[in-house]
Amino acid sequence: MASVALCFASTAEAAAPICFKSNEIEAEQAILFQTKLMVVSDVCSNASYRSFTVRNREAIIGYQHQMIEHFRRIGGGKPETAFDRYMTKLANEASLTTGSQPVSVVCSGTTAEVLTTADKLDKDSFRHLMSTTAAKEKAHYRACKE
Prediction pTM value = 0.84
Q: How high is the pLDDT of residue 75? A: 85
Instruction: State the Cα–Cα distance between residues 144 and 132, nearest whole angstrom.
Output: 19
4, 36 contact by CB (below 8 A): yes
**CB-count burial class (<10 Å; 0-12, 13-18, 19+) for 31:** buried
Q: How high is the pLDDT of residue 23? A: 95
Collapsed DSSP state (helix, strand, coil) of residue 23: helix
Mean pLDDT of 24-32: 97
pLDDT tens-digit series, residues 43-88: 999 999 999 999 999 999 999 999 999 999 998 789 999 999 999 9
